[in-house]
Chain A
């Protein structure tokens, strides 16, 4: 039991950090550019697929560097040639553009790599058990993932608090209009921010690819959860995104490993009641419900605290 808790905590924190890698980029892009990048999970997917392909050609470690750079470059191009032109049509148009982009990226990925899962393997150097928790071996690769996520998190913190560009981004998180008055080449700043945000998503993809399934539906599976994270955390709040990421990561991971249900708790219903909504709800295990828990959390937050956990900005 304790073993389960420890493993689940480790996995939960890992998943949470992954979500934070994604949601931090999303939050920063939203705060600076005012657009919620619907295609953010798609850049994550591109990172995974580029990582896979590059690993095939030149090995995992070069791929870890190059794939995010490539995706970041694509992100910058999207901002420069796509978003910038749609900006004059309003936020709804920008959201629609990123929605269409998500759609296209998924189609192109399917076009090139097909619909099946990729054989994206953990690099040999990391393919060993790091330590043993009770009777389970915890893979070193997952520790590596955790390490990279924490390292990036710290780097993000340092950049935001200590550097000039970080100060600008912080200011933009609460007063986006100010960025326009700063006199910098705002276009370049936006392009850079979008590129960095998407590159962050890509890094998450490169390292998550071997651990999770690398498949063309990755974006569509993770995307909605990502948006739940930012809404629950409060749009525009990095600390909110952090808390919400960990929260959902842990809750999700714990739920998946629990096989309890109302039936297991209170005993089975009278078998003479035929299949109905009641029996469905009674017999469903927590593990089966796990996929919808983030959405239940979303509805809960909306009722109890609509601006999100740490929400500051009005949209």
Chain B
């Protein structure tokens, strides 16, 4: 994919170092302060889910963004982590071992790691399309086995636990969601730091080389298979941690944790966030989790919107959200960012109209065909539409077709504005 360089440059100046550490401290502070600002139960649950998703997506990017491995079966390690966490918690509670809850994610991590060690060598023999297919097959193998090995996986119902049965940790029972949030937040911080540090090691650098040119890597002394294998094991480890946290949060693990749908979600989140930058999956995890939770209430076909956004990204913005943002950085540095604003604003109107039209069509079809008994009213940008009236159909088609043609013209305007702004920035010495 045509993406910019991902290798973070070493910190050479004091200002750079301050900015770097400042970013991390700010992130940690944000994690600490967030529930104090948004303290509702729903918010806490949302943040907890986002946290889990962040670790999972970052682990996935070790494979995709850093080593160039597209996996359709990463949920296996997430799920195994979850299942072993549940069994672990039940065992701890049952035997009254002195292991408090905060250490349980390590159980999940080790489970993910061990499974990755076992399955990884065969999985990483080849890269590219073959690896993708193998990951799919192995993923389905494990997911299907889950329904056969009922004693461990609990069949369709899954296995459950009670996290408050574990010994208290400095007086915390981890019953309330706020404590779970801070537990997850702590693990998010630890995992993120660890995974970032990994990118700064010799192994991390060679992973990038394997991604860019596996052939050449052999001629600098490295066995690409070994490199991929080790990366795979790390990815499995952190996925296991995420799975364990999910198990702790929901107090249940079932075969859905392991399956293709779950693998698909993390793929979406990581890709939409942007694979070329370390923080990309973090953005993607936040975006996708919010979308998942928010859209489910608004529409029955939220997964369709998901797919459309994903395909749109693949075709028009393969760098993801992070790519889109970082694209503007040279312009920001060169002070020419403002040159884009008028073009963006002008394009916003017909583009939103186009989006509105498409949404209206989808919602209308949805209510017309499937939910014959549900309400026929759709709320678009606050305007109510009655999907049973033909006028709504007409409006939808007009918005879509008309919006598309007008929007196309404005997009050309954006391209022209970009040209001017980028050239101006380049003249000032900032590579765009």
Contact = CB atoms under 8 A, between A and B. Distances in A.
A binds B: yes
A292 B145 contact: yes
Contacts of A89: 1-2, 314, 318
Contacts of A111: 301, 304, 362, 365-366, 369-370
Interface stretch (A58-66, A95-103, A191-199): A95-103
A302 interface: yes
Interface string B54-74: 000000000000001010100
A227 B139 CA distance: 12
Contacts of A302: 122, 125, 134
B138 interface: yes
B4 interface: no
B7 to A, nearest CB: 19
Interface string A279-315: 1110010001101101110110011001000000001
Interface residues of B, number: 46
Interface residues of A, number: 53
Nearest to B119: A299
B379 interface: no
B373 to A, nearest CB: 13
A295 B304 contact: no
A77 to B, nearest CB: 14
A92 interface: yes
Interface string A197-233: 0000000000000000000000010001001101100
Nearest to B371: A114
Contact of B271 (A96, A112, A281, A294): A96
A97 B264 CA distance: 13
Contacts of A130: none
Interface in B2-39: 2
B429 interface: no
Given A220-B260, A298-B141, A280 B304 contact: no
B138 A298 contact: yes
B315 interface: yes
A82 B369 CA distance: 28
Contacts of A101: 311
A88 interface: yes
Nearest to B149: A280
Contacts of A185: none
Interface in A244-285: 275-277, 279-281, 284
A93 B122 CA distance: 24
A183 interface: no
B315 A97 contact: yes
Contacts of A284: 148
Given A224-B136, A277-B152, A291-B144, A103 B366 contact: no
A219 B56 CA distance: 26
A100 B268 CA distance: 9
Interface in B114-148: 122, 125-126, 128-130, 132-134, 136-138, 140-141, 144-145, 148
A314 to B, nearest CB: 9
A280 B72 CA distance: 27
Given A100-B314, A107-B304, A231-B137, 10 more contacts: A92-B68, A97-B311, A110-B301, A111-B301, A220-B260, A228-B137, A275-B151, A284-B148, A292-B148, A306-B125
30 contacts: A36-B132, A90-B1, A91-B128, A91-B129, A92-B70, A96-B267, A100-B310, A100-B314, A103-B306, A110-B301, A111-B301, A111-B366, A114-B370, A224-B137, A227-B133, A275-B150, A275-B151, A281-B149, A292-B141, A292-B145, A292-B148, A295-B138, A295-B140, A295-B141, A298-B134, A298-B137, A298-B141, A306-B125, A306-B126, A315-B128
Interface of A: 30, 36, 82, 85-86, 88-93, 95-97, 99-101, 103-104, 107-108, 110-114, 220, 224, 227-228, 230-231, 235, 275-277, 279-281, 284, 288-289, 291-292, 294-296, 298-299, 302-303, 306, 315
